[in-house]
Chains A and B, each alone.
Chain A
């Protein structure tokens, strides 16, 4: 299985901050990397697919980059509704695997 490792596991930030979350794959996955946002009690929501493509309806303050094994999700200016847990996921091969999540909390 491909292991996905996110860092940090949690972070505290203020509204307006620039936030960066990283995800590393245990082997190359090209750009088959997706990012999801999950709020408490809700299903995950797709933010970024294919490493850098913004899902329809997602605010442009979210962006993704990377290829191979190293990827980044950036929130350019954190908004109150962005406090949530973020997961990366590889869609290169089965079994699909997710990172352990990064919880973004209010400072």
Chain B
């Protein structure tokens, strides 16, 4: 069974750093790109960027470029989303999702989400 399991909820202060994770199982982790998607409270879905776990190639939405870093460790089938300096506006639910090239590059599996709260 394909699963993406994300790390737990986080409460942080502005200016702090944070890394959240997304562990894939039940499939070949390096065969599928992983994307990160933000959902601010009560709002829609925003694509942040993606990584090819086979070579760690990344590309980012211009809206998020420079503010987050996406990485992966294929040896433990895990992708990461990292902030070096959080802002209150980073408060949101973050999802990882797998891209399936046989399904028109749709996101066929999603993690359960990680809620990040940034507050002083």
The residues of A with any CB-CB pair to B shorter than 8 Å are 1, 31-34, 36, 43-46, 49-51, 53, 55, 87, 89, 91, 94-101
Could you name 13 residue pairs across A and B whose Cβ atoms are closer than 8 Å?
A46-B106, A46-B107, A49-B103, A50-B104, A51-B104, A87-B44, A89-B45, A91-B106, A95-B63, A96-B61, A98-B45, A98-B46, A99-B44
Majority-rule SS of A interface residues: loop
Q: In the bound complex, do residue A50 and residue B106 qualify as a contact, i.e. CB atoms below 8 Å apart?
A: yes
Q: State the majority secondary structure of interface residues on B.
A: strand
Interface residues of B (CB under 8 A from A): 35, 44-47, 50, 59-63, 95, 97, 99-100, 103-108, 110-113
Q: Which are the 5 A-B pairs with shortest beta-carbon distances? A: A50-B104, A91-B105, A95-B61, A49-B106, A96-B47
Are A97 and B107 interface neighbours, CB within 8 A?
no
Give chain B residues whose Cβ lies under 8 Å from the Cβ of A91: 99, 104-106
Task: Decide: A46 and B105 in contact? CB cutoff 8 A.
Answer: no
Smallest CB–CB gap between B117 and chain A, Å? Answer: 15
